[in-house]
Structure 1
Amino acid sequence: MPVFNESLLRTRLFVSRGFRRGKCPYCGHHYWTLNPSQDNCGDQPCTPYGFIGNPPGTFRPESIRDVRERFLGFFERRGHTRINRYPVVARWRNDVYLVGASIYDFQPWVTEGVVPPPANPLTISQPSIRLTDVDKVGRSGRHLTGFEMMAHHAFNFPGKEVYWVDETVEYAHEFFTRELGFRDDEVTYKENIWEGGGNAGESFEVLVRGLEVATLVFMHYRVVGGEYREMPIRIVDTGYGLERIYWVLTGKPTIYEAVFGEFLSRARGLLGLPRPDEKLMASLAIHMGQLDPEVIALDKAYVEVARRIGVEPTELINVVKPQETLYVLADHSRTVSWMINDGVIPSNSGVGYLARLLIRRMLKYLYSIGAEVPLAEIFNLHLNYLVNDYPELKDSRQLIIELVGLEEGKYKSAINQLPKLMSRIRGKVTLEDLINLYDSHGIPPEVVRDEAAKRGVKVDVPDNFYEILASRHQRPSRGEEGGKVDVTADDVIDLKPTRELFYENPYMFTGKAKVLKVIKGRYVVLDETIFYPEGGGQPADRGVLRFNGLEAKVVDVQRAGPVILHVVEGPVPNAGDTVEMVIDSERRLGLMRMHTGTHILLQSIRRVLGKHVWQAGAQKDIPFSRIDVTHYRLPTPEEVRRIEELANEVVLGDIPVKAEFMPRNEAEAKYGFIIYQGGVVPGGTVRIVRIGEGEDMYDVEACGGTHLDSTSKVGLIKIVKVEKIQEGVVRFIFTTGRYALNYVRGLEDALEFISGKLGVGRDEAVKAVDRLLKELNEANERSRLLARKAIDADLAKLAKSTLTINGVRVAVYAEDYWVKDYLQELATRYQGDVLILTHGREYQVYTNGKVKAVDVAKALSEIGGRGGGSVTFAQGVFTKPISHEDIINAVKHLLTQ
């Protein structure tokens, strides 16, 4: 950890204006203020809110949009470039799923100096999502899962200073005092250290009347293995809470009433809930702010707040709980709408898990107040207001409503399973049991607790249960690192980057190169290569290296940083040798068809199923390839047919395919974040593959694979299979070119075989199959009729042979029809207690539970049987010939002992 740099935070504003530096007696943090009587840091829980019902400042916004525009305009007038907000799903990163702050937009590429910022300095209002406080939402009065972080950023490169601590604090003070009209002595600056996304730095938390409204971070550390290291770039990273500032300026009882006021009014009418007493809610917010659930358990917090404001705890809870539900619905529905709009499909894994978590938390609250209004109707109502601030939600509105409706259906189905699931749990219900019931079946812990109470079992649900869940799923899981070759960075550190001829001309199938080094006797490094190394879901090329009359077989090609390794078998060349490279051209062309076909197919899927579709994985191979996409259901046959038709229309269109390297920022600005369909691409430069140009561009992606130069060279694209591989992910298996032709020929051969068996021509095969099925159904019906008659006859025989042994009716019968369905129906219709059926040396035991079938099997083991079973069914074999009388005697012995 670094030494906290106090001098860095002793700004010229504080010195020139006479700010006083104090130390909070409660939390120990230092703070700067112009208020001579202030004796603490001014933050929760050290001081109560002082703005509720008495808002500070002179600016009275009509809407939250007024505050956003006031902020962005302020910084634009001070030389900052306004940039558009980024998506809430961080597609450009592989370490987090969601954008949690505006600085996430620029990590790691800008903050590491790999690419320049989109503007410098800049200002933005970035929708952000944090689930670290999800359990406090609706309860504390101030916590949100989704919020807008207004910010201004400056990136100070060596020799190119923009501005640093002094100017940042002066901007903040000027904004709060001159733009919003707060008094100088109402704004407090609390010293702290901020860390996030791999970076850190000293910071000020800006506080107004007990509420943190902004954070000013002076980022100059990189966090590596828990250690802080100085960065060459110093970054001004600020975050101004749009919703919190609006709350302060309105003086509403809670942040929810301020931000979602119109929706809450309509939702109360829809759900039949009363409007709460504003003074009560204001008191609750003030006291809950000082009794954060991090410090005191929620149930105890309600008791303490009730004591302080002079009401009974039960009375307080009865008033608060319905409002808590409304607040959760308001916050979560906005967050989920943002997520779905950016391509998230609620599911049980990945970022979809987090969306489902929020939806199920909403449903749990909705049902807890006995509301029968569908959750989709709540979303529909809220979207009427959200589209004013987020017009992009208009296009995804129907998808959002449809997905929420599907999720509610799944939730209800899960709840119906609970009694059965609870019967499997023995003893105490642990936290891990609660987590497993949620993760595996989607059942909220509160519902488990209520069901357990019916069974006399007490279940403790942590107040932060959903935070625990979210923390386990906040980041993508990292697969095992390490490549397919045992080569280290030290092995290639002295080598220059390999020239990648496969990018310069993907149709170059032969060429010459010089051997730079041979590592461990089987890894050959050339100065340049036509061999494509495995990557981006595309397998490596295969081929040979010829030298000095010898030939080495290239069995694999892998990257080791900027160096390409050729894994060889057979004779190995020496460093300095010139080799002739020959790749398997048919294989390469097949893979190029598959890769270009993957891009065509992905875009065709998006155009048919919707823009929410994102690639979730792909493998380009021959003779078949696959692409996994996010989608909430299995596509219909008509949709699959349309996708295939659209893809082949692109092939027939003979559209040019072009690839070029571009600076990352330039590519993002020109094409948007859709370029990351194939996943995160590292580095400051990305290789962009375009199908078409301008308005006629069909697809654009950042991709490192080899591609054809025209869609017409892909040949036929044939979808072979579509399957749901996990919730929210659909897999398309497809083939292209001559492999597609071979597949179609295989289908024709199968049809020819079937036609031959049916004795008709191929054109008549369908009609012949229909006739055959009709005849088969008629035969089955006749068989069922005959079986019923046979069962009736067997039952009559069983009735005559049934013995009563110690009050138990038993029949032993040698059955000729050893067919599962037949035996089960016979056993079901048998009126006795124990039925033993034999067929040669096999036996089956059916009981109605009066006697355990497994006990009968044990009795039969005494006379040479071997088997086992359950209470009502058992089966086994006899190891020697057993007579009817032997079985009867064994049962008698069981029932009379």
Structure 2
Amino acid sequence: MCVWHADYLKNIFPETSEHLATVAKVLEVEKSKYESTKQKTRQIIEKLMQSEITNTKLLELYDSQGISPELVREESAKLGKKVAVPENFYAQVAELHQHKEQEHQTHREEKIDLEGVPETKALYYQDWKHIVFQGKVVKIIGKNIVLDQTAFYPTSGGQLHDIGVIEGMQGKDEVVDIFKQGSVIVHVLKETPTCKVGEDVKGFIDFIRRKQLAQHHSATHIVGAAARIVLGEHINQASAKKTVEKAHIDLTHYDMISEEKLKEIEDKANWLIQQKVPIQLKFYPRTEAEQTFGMGIYQGGAVPGKELRIVNITGYDVQCCGGTHLLNTGDAEAIKILKANKVQDGIVRVTFVAGDAARAQQKGEQNVLEETAKLLQCRKNQVPARAQELFELWKQAVKKKKQPTSLELKATEEFLGSEKDMLVKVCEIYKTTPEHIVKTTERFLSELKETHESEKK
């Protein structure tokens, strides 16, 4: 049927025929998910039979597990329970998603009186390294200062704000927050300002924070581009969030992303970094932007305004975006994917770090493996085998109360994968997360020793 439909539309939408292989995969996955969901729904309904299935519960089941209210109603009827589905159920789902989208946009609800205050000229669009600037104070409200122009980036678009200092004739004022209200950018100070309205001041932005946020923002676009290359053209950004510690991108994908595919995405992202692809930052009239780059520029939702800032990773990714960005992919330095998890049906969240945060993560992983190797008295590449041996001994002695003849760990099998793969393997064995591997190893060794000594007595 899909082939017939694509053939019928080929003169209008020729790309439909080009993606039939992906369509087949999606249908196969959806069929499997449907059958699985039906079975899961029956099990869930059986558990819920003792209580009322509320509208809140229906929303939760649909949003977190992809179980439609119609399927809940159908399966409940088979078990003799009537479930009422609101007529505006899907409107409620849309409202719920809109609220979540606003959270990712890091929208600020607080409003202050800015009547008569002119639009602030933003200086951060063209060069992320623009961290020193001059401006004039046009408004002061408590600890809030408005300048005629600023290079401080306000919290918006899923990216956190800059911090730094504003220096006037009477001293330096620490800037702890930045937000945008309408067309006005507001600087929030730690203390009451020392400068006055009309005074010329100088701004100094924290370079380390600015760099890390710019790396995470551009890396978001790079990871999205890499995922599109690896998984297919259906990949788009649904939303994203960038902090100093880490970032994540929510991708439109019909299935969970396997560890193998995640590794491919990470490798492709780092390949794009190595290519030092230019990142073009330019404002276009809306119509020109749409005609030049297509409607795919609206990833994560529509953007208001007559002019759009286009972030173009030449040949790989084009988006409308107002964040602080690097000038080429090489400035991201390195990208390390931490995990992927399904946040709702058809949306997979990929969490990652870039630049200094990626190197810190790498160093942390190396430290975990080194400490675990010391505890298990083996080389790093023998840790997975020793961890498996320790876990089996611990399970037998502590859980099943069967004492082993010896507590000596002897496994010497060498793991052939990367250090990240080693950590993943140990996490699977211990059923824990990387940051808890050392503590878990210590606990297993300690409990095993205590159990063995108590048996000897």
Q: Does 1:644 align with 2:271?
A: no
Higher relative contact order (CA closer than 8 Å, sequence separation 6+): 2
**Which of 71, 80, 87 is the equivalent residue of 1:444?**
71
Query: 2:27 corresponds to which residue?
Result: 404
1:611-637 superposed Cα distances (whole Å, 9 cap, x missing partner): 222212211111211111122222122
Query: 1:550 corresponds to which residue?
Result: 171
Q: Aligned to 1:503, what secondary structure does the other structure show?
A: coil
1:515-571 superposed Cα distances (whole Å, 9 cap, x missing partner): 11112x121111111111111111111011111232211111111211111111224
Q: Does 1:393 align with 2:16?
A: yes
Cα drift, residue 393 of structure 1: 2.1
1:817-872 superposed Cα distances (whole Å, 9 cap, x missing partner): xxxxxxxxxxxxxxxxxxxxxxxxxxxxxxxxxxxxxxxxxxxxxxxxxxxxxxxx
Matched to 1:550, the amino acid is G
Q: Aligned to 1:492, what secondary structure does the other structure show?
A: coil
Q: Aligned to 2:117, what secondary structure does the other structure show?
A: coil
Contact 2:217 2:325 in 1 (8 A): yes
Query: 1:14 corresponds to which residue?
Result: none
Q: Does 1:565 align with 2:186?
A: yes
1:98-117 superposed Cα distances (whole Å, 9 cap, x missing partner): xxxxxxxxxxxxxxxxxxxx
Q: Aligned to 1:502, what secondary structure does the other structure show?
A: coil
Distance verdict in 2 for CA 1:628–1:712, change over 3 Å: same
**Which of 133, 144, 150 is the equivalent residue of 1:529?**
150
Cα drift, residue 433 of structure 1: 11
Cα drift, residue 775 of structure 1: 6.6
Matched to 1:508, the amino acid is H
Looking at structure 2, the residues matched to 778 and 737 of structure 1 have their Cα atoms a distance apart, in angstroms, of 40
Contact 2:144 2:187 in 1 (8 A): yes
Distance verdict in 2 for CA 1:628–1:466, change over 3 Å: same
Query: 1:714 corresponds to which residue?
Result: 332
Q: Aligned to 1:677, what secondary structure does the other structure show?
A: coil
Query: 1:767 corresponds to which residue?
Result: 382
Query: 2:444 corresponds to which residue?
Result: none
1:386-414 superposed Cα distances (whole Å, 9 cap, x missing partner): 65764332233233333333333333344
**Which of 662, 670, 688 is the equivalent residue of 2:310?**
688
Contact 1:678 1:701 in 2 (8 A): no
**Which of 324, 340, 343 is the equivalent residue of 1:725?**
343
Cα drift, residue 759 of structure 1: 2.6
Matched to 1:716, the amino acid is A
Length-normalised TM-score, structure 2: 0.75
Cα drift, residue 779 of structure 1: 7.5
Distance verdict in 2 for CA 1:735–1:419, change over 3 Å: closer
Q: Aligned to 2:227, what secondary structure does the other structure show?
A: helix
Looking at structure 2, the residues matched to 547 and 412 of structure 1 have their Cα atoms a distance apart, in angstroms, of 67
Q: Does 1:506 align with 2:121?
A: no
**Which of 31, 35, 42 is the equivalent residue of 1:418?**
42
Q: Aligned to 2:359, what secondary structure does the other structure show?
A: helix
Query: 2:361 corresponds to which residue?
Result: 743
Q: Does 1:604 align with 2:219?
A: no
1:324-350 superposed Cα distances (whole Å, 9 cap, x missing partner): xxxxxxxxxxxxxxxxxxxxxxxxxxx
Query: 2:416 corresponds to which residue?
Result: none
Matched to 2:376, the amino acid is L
Query: 1:758 corresponds to which residue?
Result: 376
Looking at structure 2, the residues matched to 659 and 558 of structure 1 have their Cα atoms a distance apart, in angstroms, of 22
Cα drift, residue 666 of structure 1: 0.7
Q: Any unmatched runs of 5+ in structure 1?
A: 1-377, 789-897
Q: Does 1:678 align with 2:300?
A: yes
Matched to 1:402, the amino acid is K
Looking at structure 1, the residues matched to 12 and 28 of structure 2 have their Cα atoms a distance apart, in angstroms, of 24
Counterparts of residues 89-488 of structure 1 (less than 5 Å): 390-416=13-39, 417-418=41-42, 421=45, 424-425=48-49, 439=62, 441-442=67-68, 443-444=70-71, 447-448=74-75, 451=78, 455=80, 468-473=88-93, 477-479=97-99, 484=108, 486-488=110-112
Matched to 1:757, the amino acid is L
Q: Aligned to 1:444, what secondary structure does the other structure show?
A: helix
Contact 1:419 1:451 in 2 (8 A): no
Looking at structure 1, the residues matched to 386 and 146 of structure 2 have their Cα atoms a distance apart, in angstroms, of 65
Matched to 1:451, the amino acid is K
CA-atom RMSD, angstroms? 3.5
Looking at structure 1, the residues matched to 83 and 269 of structure 2 have their Cα atoms a distance apart, in angstroms, of 54
Distance verdict in 2 for CA 1:582–1:404, change over 3 Å: same
Query: 1:734 corresponds to which residue?
Result: 352
Distance verdict in 2 for CA 1:781–1:614, change over 3 Å: same
Query: 1:653 corresponds to which residue?
Result: 275
Query: 1:68 corresponds to which residue?
Result: none
Cα drift, residue 713 of structure 1: 1.3
Matched to 1:418, the amino acid is R
1:76-101 superposed Cα distances (whole Å, 9 cap, x missing partner): xxxxxxxxxxxxxxxxxxxxxxxxxx
Q: Aligned to 2:255, what secondary structure does the other structure show?
A: coil
Matched to 1:405, the amino acid is E
Matched to 1:602, the amino acid is G
Looking at structure 2, the residues matched to 699 and 436 of structure 1 have their Cα atoms a distance apart, in angstroms, of 34
Cα drift, residue 610 of structure 1: 1.6
Contact 1:722 1:732 in 2 (8 A): yes
Contact 1:514 1:577 in 2 (8 A): yes
Cα drift, residue 478 of structure 1: 4.1
Query: 1:355 corresponds to which residue?
Result: none
Distance verdict in 2 for CA 1:550–1:641, change over 3 Å: same
Q: Aligned to 1:538, what secondary structure does the other structure show?
A: coil
1:160-218 superposed Cα distances (whole Å, 9 cap, x missing partner): xxxxxxxxxxxxxxxxxxxxxxxxxxxxxxxxxxxxxxxxxxxxxxxxxxxxxxxxxxx
Looking at structure 1, the residues matched to 49 and 235 of structure 2 have their Cα atoms a distance apart, in angstroms, of 39
Counterparts of residues 772-811 of structure 1 (less than 5 Å): 773-774=388-389, 777=392
Contact 1:485 1:558 in 2 (8 A): no
Looking at structure 1, the residues matched to 387 and 278 of structure 2 have their Cα atoms a distance apart, in angstroms, of 49
Looking at structure 1, the residues matched to 350 and 143 of structure 2 have their Cα atoms a distance apart, in angstroms, of 37
Length-normalised TM-score, structure 1: 0.40
Cα drift, residue 771 of structure 1: 4.7
Query: 2:438 corresponds to which residue?
Result: none
Looking at structure 2, the residues matched to 586 and 718 of structure 1 have their Cα atoms a distance apart, in angstroms, of 19
Cα drift, residue 737 of structure 1: 1.3
Cα drift, residue 746 of structure 1: 1.2
Contact 1:551 1:571 in 2 (8 A): no
Cα drift, residue 728 of structure 1: 2.2
Q: Aligned to 1:678, what secondary structure does the other structure show?
A: coil
Distance verdict in 2 for CA 1:476–1:613, change over 3 Å: farther
Query: 1:704 corresponds to which residue?
Result: 322
Contact 2:283 2:307 in 1 (8 A): yes
Q: Does 1:622 align with 2:282?
A: no
Matched to 1:403, the amino acid is V
Cα drift, residue 449 of structure 1: 7.5
Query: 2:287 corresponds to which residue?
Result: 665
Cα drift, residue 438 of structure 1: 8.2
Looking at structure 2, the residues matched to 530 and 432 of structure 1 have their Cα atoms a distance apart, in angstroms, of 47
Matched to 1:511, the amino acid is F
1:594-624 superposed Cα distances (whole Å, 9 cap, x missing partner): 1111111111111111222221221111121
Looking at structure 2, the residues matched to 725 and 435 of structure 1 have their Cα atoms a distance apart, in angstroms, of 16
Cα drift, residue 686 of structure 1: 0.3
Say how many residue pairs are matched: 393
Distance verdict in 2 for CA 1:424–1:487, change over 3 Å: closer
**Whose radius of gyration is greater, 1 or 2?**
1
Looking at structure 2, the residues matched to 782 and 560 of structure 1 have their Cα atoms a distance apart, in angstroms, of 62
Contact 1:678 1:702 in 2 (8 A): no
Q: Aligned to 1:708, what secondary structure does the other structure show?
A: coil
Matched to 2:161, the amino acid is A
